[in-house]
Structure 1
Amino acid sequence: MSALAWVLFSLTVLLDVFGQTAFKLGLDRIGHAAGPLFWRSVATSPWILAGFLGYCVEAVSWMYVLGHAPLSIVGPMAALSYVGVVLAGRLFLGERARARRWIAAGLVTLGAGLVGASLG
């Protein structure tokens, strides 16, 4: 896998975490709106729009990665975004994850590392 593919793979993981975090931040600010007011708020939320933009860039980057790396390697390694989401929830949203969730996130990271280590 080329250096560019690794950089873009890393970008896809970061953008996936960013997109989910941005959506959560935007939706938290909308509150309990319902019906047309909810959808108008979604369409005009800077955080939600930023999340969509992040996902668009992620999709283009992911297509490059898939064209230059085995799916059996990068697909499972994309699970690193789960770890990133737990960390982003803690850092940016003030969420408190219990030890069990951190252990699970660590196991996901370990598994993704083992998949990545099978490159040779």
Structure 2
Amino acid sequence: MTGTLTPAMLALIAFCVLTETAREVCFKHSADNETLSAALVKPMTWLGVFFWALELIGWTVVLEHVPLSIAFPLMALSYVVIVLAGAWIFKEQINLRHAAGVLFITAGVACVGATGL
């Protein structure tokens, strides 16, 4: 392990962030106003499980090549993308404190990412 991010590993981390976001959107869509047993039989739930499996495969490859201390903080970008997806897809409100938190996460990820480049 070299301790640096290659463009390929950065792209794979971005893929993991997007699959995690897709998983959470699928799970939210399935769980919205449903019981657990009703949600478990919905196709959207199983699409979320599929995205979970894709993320697991991608994340395992990332961890083979990138130190956890660099890769894991970069995955925090999923918090940012999930907040934006929630606002866009589910029309969830983002207040000022929420937006400030997202900005702090993004700044922290930028600091960690710059360390690994």
TM-score normalised by length of structure 2: 0.90
Structure 1: 4+ residue segments shifted above 6 A: none
State the partner residue of 2:54: 57
Shift of 1:5: 1.5
State the partner residue of 1:105: 102
- The answer to whether the aligner puts 1:10 opposite 2:17 as a matched pair is no
CA distance in 1, matches of 2:106, 2:43: 31
- Cα deviation code 1:73-113 (max 9, x no counterpart): 11111111111111011000010010110110011011001
Shift of 1:32: 4.2
Shift of 1:7: 1.4
| CA RMSD after TM alignment | 1.3
State the partner residue of 2:68: 71
Gaps of 5+ in 1: none
- The answer to whether the aligner puts 1:117 opposite 2:114 as a matched pair is yes
TM-score normalised by length of structure 1: 0.88
Please say if residues 17 and 85 of structure 1, whose CA atoms lie closer than 8 Å, have aligned partners that are also in contact: yes
Please say if residues 2 and 68 of structure 1, whose CA atoms lie closer than 8 Å, have aligned partners that are also in contact: no
Identity %: 30
Between structure 1 and structure 2, the one with the greater Rg is 1
Amino acid at match of 1:66: L
Gaps of 5+ in 2: none
Please say if residues 87 and 94 of structure 2, whose CA atoms lie closer than 8 Å, have aligned partners that are also in contact: yes
CA distance in 2, matches of 1:111, 1:2: 20
Q: Which has the higher relative contact order, 1 or 2, with Cα contacts under 8 A spaced 6 or more apart?
A: 2
